[in-house]
Structure 1
Amino acid sequence: MQFKRWLFLPIFLLAFTPLLDAQTSHRALRNGNKAYKDQNFNEAKSEYNRALEADNSAKGNYNLGNALFEGGDYEEAAKKYEEAASLSTDPTITSSAYRNLGDAQYQQENYKESVEAYKQSLRINPDDKETKYNLSKAIRRLQQQQQQEQQQQQNQDQQDQQDQQQQDQQGQGEQQDQQQQDQQSEGEQQQDQQSQQQQNQQQQDQQQQESNQNQQGEPQPNKDQPKMSREEAERQLAIAAEAEKETMKNLQKGARSGCKDGKDW
């Protein structure tokens, strides 16, 4: 896509204009135009900047924009074209400034801004075939750019959805793991409680067994033996007393028979 640049040569100031700044700007513009034609764009930029210091004119901004454009500085060129369009009272300069602004935005892939600049130029000069052609190219590029951005947005949305699903699944997995850990911990606690209960029961059983053994070692009354009546008990006691008296008599007799008078030697 070729972009043609046109220079606007300054009109000589009238002889009765004694302004020094205007003369300085005029001389700098002539030098800048000469350098531009020789494709010495750096020198052209220096001369155009000198002209603008003396007089911030639409022509000076327009020509400086062309020098910047040829040097590949499209962003700064666009600024100068916008300045030229805002300062210009000449429809030809204004239309050309908007067209070149569209070219600078196109080079930066700012297709939406490029389309608007071309439209502005055609509103002033609707018969400019080159601007119409550039506008059609910018519209196609804008459509392609919008489709690419839409596709990228869809891909990003799908990726975000997949990432969210993975996060949800990971969260569910962590929740399940936590539930399993809680269940395992609860089961261990129940086992500990059951084990403690078993130990307590064993201790109680052991204590009961020891108590039973101690009770078995002591004489227990015979519940099956019939009870003795009072009369029978008194009779048994009387018999025992008689037997004891008889025994005492026998002992006394034995003692007397065993004693002798005198000494036996």
Structure 2
Amino acid sequence: MKKILTLLVLFLLSYTAVDAQASHRALRRGDQAYKDKNYAEARKEYDEALADENSAKGNYNLGNALYEQGEFEEAAKRYEEAASLATDDEVSSRAYRNLADAQYQQQQYEEAVESYKRSLRINPDDKETKYNLSKAIRQIQAQEEQQQQQNQDSQSGDSEEQQDQQGGDGNPQNGENGQQQQGEQNQDQQQQQQGQQQDSADSQEGQSSTEGQPDATPQDARMSRAEAERQLEIAAQAEKETMKRLRKGDAQGCRSDKEW
């Protein structure tokens, strides 16, 4: 039984060694295709290498091929896997830096900043990573400034709209003034018409007196017109008071405490 277990262990070790060799050969083919800028072929070879052995180097190189093809989201996943599998600080630092580059390409600037920082914790002297970190930080600042400008523009637009609405609320007041002037003109016309009617009535009374009815003295006639004018004046004043109360009520109806 012990002999069988020993043979099984040897077989597994041999099988693992064969897989490692196959993975290594696929990685070498992928590296050559990558050097030739044949990224599709390189991707195929790296996928084959990972099928035989899930290694940090395989994921890192596959991430590079995907990055060159513009597949930044998939490349980021491979860089993350490479960083988690890496036992070498240099590989880990490069994986985080390339992860940050992929995130930067997707405009994920805050995530990119964090990944650049993780890379620099491992390799603080990497000037390229420091430069890329500064670019990502500037992008975040630009986004914040743009957002602030948009907020200011939005507030300015709301203020202008509120002013327009307030100006619109003032228009009925102008209309009320026009109505007041029109009402006064109508009153003057009514007074003139009533005066003309009274003159006509007085004239008719004079004509009737010549037909045998009691004569009215000129003083009585003047008293009658004066009384009529006084009544008209009283009516006109009452109408003005009524119009004034109506206008006051309309003005109150136009007020609004709503905050726009």
Structure-2-length-normalised TM-score: 0.61
Residue of structure 2 in register with 1:112 after alignment = 110
Among candidates 98, 102, 107, match of residue 100 of structure 2: 102
Pick the structure with more helix per residue. 2
Residue of structure 2 in register with 1:185 after alignment = 179
Residue of structure 2 in register with 1:8 after alignment = none
Identity across aligned pairs (percent)? 45
Q: Which has the larger radius of gyration?
A: 1
Alignment RMSD, CA only?
A: 3.6
Distance 1:33 1:139, change over 3 A: closer
- 1:238-257 matches, within 5 Å, as none
In 2, Cα distance between equivalents of 1:55 and 1:216: 137
In 2, Cα distance between equivalents of 1:27 and 1:14: 20
| Residues 4-37 of structure 1: per-residue CA shift (max 9 Å, x gap) | xxxxxxxxx9752269987765554343233223
Residue of structure 2 in register with 1:80 after alignment = 78
Among candidates 60, 63, 79, match of residue 61 of structure 2: 63
1:102 deviation in Å?
A: 2.2
In 2, Cα distance between equivalents of 1:153 and 1:16: 61
Which residue identity lines up with residue 90 of structure 1 in the other structure?
A: T
1:117 deviation in Å?
A: 1.0
Structure 2 gap segments, 5+ residues each: 1-10, 216-260
In 2, Cα distance between equivalents of 1:134 and 1:110: 19
8 Å contact from structure 1 (residues 111, 139) kept in 2 = no
Which residue identity lines up with residue 129 of structure 1 in the other structure?
A: D
Which residue identity lines up with residue 186 of structure 2 in the other structure?
A: D
In 1, Cα distance between equivalents of 2:72 and 2:155: 39
Among candidates 164, 186, 201, match of residue 207 of structure 1: 201
Runs ≥4 residues deviating over 6 A:
18-24
Give SS of 1:191's match: helix
Which residue identity lines up with residue 99 of structure 2 in the other structure?
A: L
- 1:139-154 matches, within 5 Å, as 139-154=133-148
Residue of structure 1 in register with 2:245 after alignment = none
In 2, Cα distance between equivalents of 1:135 and 1:209: 111
Structure 1 gap segments, 5+ residues each: 1-12, 222-265
In 1, Cα distance between equivalents of 2:209 and 2:100: 117
1:166 matched to 2:164? The reply is: no
* Count, aligned residues: 204
8 Å contact from structure 1 (residues 111, 141) kept in 2 = no
Distance 1:155 1:82, change over 3 A: same
In 2, Cα distance between equivalents of 1:220 and 1:106: 113
Residue of structure 1 in register with 2:87 after alignment = 90
| Residues 242-265 of structure 1: per-residue CA shift (max 9 Å, x gap) | xxxxxxxxxxxxxxxxxxxxxxxx
8 Å contact from structure 1 (residues 115, 135) kept in 2 = no
